Structure 1
Amino acid sequence: MKNYETIEVVGDGAFGTVLKCKNRETGQLVAIKKMKQRYTSWEECCQLKEVTSLRKIKHQNVVRLLEVFREEEHLFLVFELLHGSMYKSIRDHDGPFSEAQVRFCMKQILLGLQYVHRCGFFHRDMKPENLLWDGDTLKICDFGLAREIRSKPPYTEYVSTRWYRAPEIVLRHQFYNSPVDIWAAGCIMAELFTSKPLFQGTSETDQLFKICSVLGTPGPGNWPDGAKLAQRLNIRLPSFAPTPLHTIIPNASPEAIELLTEMLQYDPAKRPSASKALQHPWFNGPMEPISKMTPKTPPKVFTSVEKVDENKKMKEDESIKVHVTDFSKGPAQIPPRRLVQEEEEELKDPSFDDIFENL
């Protein structure tokens, strides 16, 4: 760190501490992620997914990795410093965005995902917090959970923030791939239209309830693997008829609803690729930047972790939050936005099987 002056600590997560720093020679402000794991060799550092992915991905809609260095077994990742997140834009905006603004954002998100997938990676943690503003340009950040598309499954069970998890992950399918990013992008699109998450599950079980209550119950007709996964987990899925998305998002055009419906297919094989989604006629409509609505807050860096004191409060809140969802009584109460620090959450819910068995 001899080449950088630390200005402040801006975040602390499960995998690293984020510092706002200034290059002593150039004066450039950067975000430096100091990894918590110790690395005894440079070869070990180069195997880190966040490093291997971002060294190959160079795109205007993906955060730039400027430098990687190791000092005393600590690994440091130097990123461009970005200002404001999509999450803060949604939070601070008075009401939903216009369709032209949603289109403006979604095109950039899908362009970024298209390139990430073409480079042979999928992100696994797409959410508004991991979309940062560089002027009017949206950039995907935080590739700590990224995987290679050609890598061999099974993957680790934990992946992504709960509200944006694809159903194959919720049902613990270990053989998933880039369609999980398309599902998350669909969730983000719906959130831009309504200013609130589409599937606000309070637990893993409640997350599945929320998805079923909108899309209907998965079965042989719309997702054969889903029924098999549920059976393997001794889960009896709640019985729901699909709720038309236009009744949930009345301010979206029919073309927007059509695209959203395609992205939120139960069956991963039926979801469009990012490239195919970008070819949808909906993107022929007008686009409007939302930079004027980006909150005037201190610079936000590439990580999804909030300030250190906020992170501490999340841990304190999580220690007293114990949710047991009984589907026979309907969905659980919606939790406050971003109350749970998902990076440190244990995905496997010990009550998961018991709750569904009693349906």
Structure 2
Amino acid sequence: MEILCDDGEYKPIGKIGEGTFSDVLKTQSLRDGNYYACKQMKQHFESDRKSGSLALICELMDMNIYELIRGRRKPLPEKKIMNYMYQLCKSLDHMHRNGIFHRDVKPENILIKFSQQDTLKLGDFGSCRSVYSKQPYTEYISTRWYRAPECLLTDGYYSYKMDMWSSGCVFYEITSFHPLFPGSNELDQISKIHDILGTPAKKTLNKFKQSRAMSFDFPFKKGTGLSPHVPNISPKSLSLMYAMIEYDPDQRIGAHQALQHPYFQELRTAEKQAVTMHRKMRLAENIVGQESINLWCIPKDGNRQHSLRKTQENPVRHHGPSYAIELPKLNVSGVTKLTSYPSPSFHSVFTTPATNGEVPVLQPIKYIGTNHKSEKQKELKSSMKQYHLPTIERRGGGY
């Protein structure tokens, strides 16, 4: 059997899991050969053109939290637990900020991939609801062991804070490898909660009475607390765990607030350092790229300076001798012998002789000569005769 999808065909390899409404299969893409998880709905549909069932192709993860801790005896390192809970709180914070709450947070729905540095992803969004949807919601939601008191004691009047209660139960289970409140039914579930946390105050119970016509005449219990059940965890982790399973949802910690808890201080610091380093690398890349662009885009003024600097660094070298050459005298017959005139004197325009082959810098020059004519020049001018050429007439368009 092959699964047909819009982006190609997928070959089933084996069954990973099964839920109430769907089966999860491991499949291989016939297009790229990679493995994917396929969530295939059990409900079939038929129409005039097509018939079949809906299949969702997702990333294939290694395992879920339940499979990780099942049958395990050696406790997980606290840093690993911290890393998992930090990612879980970040996923819930992202969902809640975007107006959605999960309603079915439990170990089976939390997936892990070891090849990506213990990446954790929250899955199975079949029970999600909008934060802004109108109450009451479905009463029998979430798996019983991870169901918050407001879900058990009201007619569907609960909020996104139920996800934090479920996360606190998962936190305890990752640490101890045992469920925190394994009730056999709803009444036993409430009893298990009171055994650990104690009977809540009347003020808290009155909030639940407003939405459900039932007697809340619970026997008084002090509660054992969490410490006897998880004696080896740090005070900060115990503090966060208590904040997540606060009986009163109004006092219960939110996902964004949980991320700021001292328990995650080390991870927040490492995350900030990684972000800062990434920004510095991006800034350095941008600077190098801008310098490369500037080398090709030189402004006009800069272009002239660049050309002048290039000329000074690489002066133009003329071919031939660099000393003065005396030209040969010309003998022209039929020309009146002219008297030589005194040549005007020029000062050198170069401050120092150019001995290194470079073009020296020119200095302002000043002409020094004489405006007085000699007697011989005057006699020569007076002895010259003027001649006029006859006018040429045009004939037939020519000359």
- Alpha carbons of 1:103 and 1:71: their partners in 2 closer, same or farther (altered >3 Å)? farther
Question: How far has the Cα of 1:222 moved from its partner?
Answer: 4.1
Structure 1 segments of 4+ aligned residues over 4 angstroms from their partners: 38-41, 227-230
Q: Secondary structure of 1:150's match?
A: coil
Structure 1 position 129 matched with structure 2 position 108: yes
Equivalent residue number for residue 156 of structure 1: 138
Structure 1 position 174 matched with structure 2 position 156: yes
Q: Secondary structure of 1:133's match?
A: strand
Is the 2:65–2:112 contact (alpha carbons within 8 Å) kept by the matching residues of 1?
yes
Is the 1:219–1:226 contact (alpha carbons within 8 Å) kept by the matching residues of 2?
no
Quote the Cα distance in structure 2 between the aligned partners of 1:199 and 1:23. 41
| Aligned with 1:113 (options 69, 92, 96) | 92
Is the 2:111–2:123 contact (alpha carbons within 8 Å) kept by the matching residues of 1?
yes
Q: Secondary structure of 2:141's match?
A: coil
Structure 1 position 266 matched with structure 2 position 247: yes
Question: How far has the Cα of 1:20 moved from its partner?
Answer: 1.8
Equivalent residue number for residue 17 of structure 2: 11
Is the 2:154–2:208 contact (alpha carbons within 8 Å) kept by the matching residues of 1?
no
Q: Secondary structure of 2:242's match?
A: helix
Question: How far has the Cα of 1:9 moved from its partner?
Answer: 3.1
Question: How far has the Cα of 1:196 moved from its partner?
Answer: 0.6
Root-mean-square deviation (CA), in Å? Answer: 2.2
Equivalent residue number for residue 254 of structure 1: 235
Question: How far has the Cα of 1:13 moved from its partner?
Answer: 2.4
Task: Tell me the alpha carbon deviations over residues 30-49 of structure 1, each in whole angstroms, 9 at most, x when there is no partner.
Answer: 111222234579xxxxxxxx
Question: How far has the Cα of 1:223 moved from its partner?
Answer: 4.6
Question: How far has the Cα of 1:215 moved from its partner?
Answer: 1.0
Further displaced range: 207-216 or 23-32: 23-32
Is the 1:125–1:161 contact (alpha carbons within 8 Å) kept by the matching residues of 2?
yes
Is the 1:218–1:226 contact (alpha carbons within 8 Å) kept by the matching residues of 2?
no
Quote the Cα distance in structure 2 between the aligned partners of 1:166 and 1:104. 24
- Alpha carbons of 1:171 and 1:223: their partners in 2 closer, same or farther (altered >3 Å)? closer
Q: Secondary structure of 1:245's match?
A: coil
Structure 1 position 233 matched with structure 2 position 217: no
Quote the Cα distance in structure 2 between the aligned partners of 1:121 and 1:196. 29
Q: Secondary structure of 2:43's match?
A: coil
Q: Secondary structure of 1:268's match?
A: coil
Question: How far has the Cα of 1:235 moved from its partner?
Answer: 4.2
Equivalent residue number for residue 81 of structure 1: 60
Question: How far has the Cα of 1:218 moved from its partner?
Answer: 2.1
Equivalent residue number for residue 312 of structure 2: none
Quote the Cα distance in structure 1 between the aligned partners of 2:235 and 2:12. 50
Give identity over the alignment, percent. 40
Structure 1 position 24 matched with structure 2 position 24: no
Equivalent residue number for residue 95 of structure 1: 74
- Alpha carbons of 1:228 and 1:248: their partners in 2 closer, same or farther (altered >3 Å)? farther
Further displaced range: 175-184 or 8-17: 8-17
Quote the Cα distance in structure 2 between the aligned partners of 1:71 and 1:160. 34
Question: How far has the Cα of 1:83 moved from its partner?
Answer: 0.8
Quote the Cα distance in structure 2 between the aligned partners of 1:111 and 1:251. 25
Is the 1:6–1:21 contact (alpha carbons within 8 Å) kept by the matching residues of 2?
yes
Read off the aligned partner of 2:226 and give its amino acid letter. L
Task: Tell me the alpha carbon deviations over residues 111-130 of structure 1, each in whole angstroms, 9 at most, x when there is no partner.
Answer: 11111111211111111111
Structure 1 position 193 matched with structure 2 position 175: yes
Is the 1:218–1:227 contact (alpha carbons within 8 Å) kept by the matching residues of 2?
no
| Aligned with 1:183 (options 165, 179, 186) | 165
Quote the Cα distance in structure 1 between the aligned partners of 2:188 and 2:161. 22
- How many pairs were matched up? 258
Is the 1:209–1:238 contact (alpha carbons within 8 Å) kept by the matching residues of 2?
no
Quote the Cα distance in structure 2 between the aligned partners of 1:18 and 1:89. 18
After superposition, residues 276-295 of structure 1 pair within 5 angstroms as 276-285=257-266
- Structure 1 unpaired stretches of 5+: 42-69, 288-359
Q: Secondary structure of 2:228's match?
A: helix
Quote the Cα distance in structure 2 between the aligned partners of 1:15 and 1:172. 26
Structure 1 position 104 matched with structure 2 position 83: yes
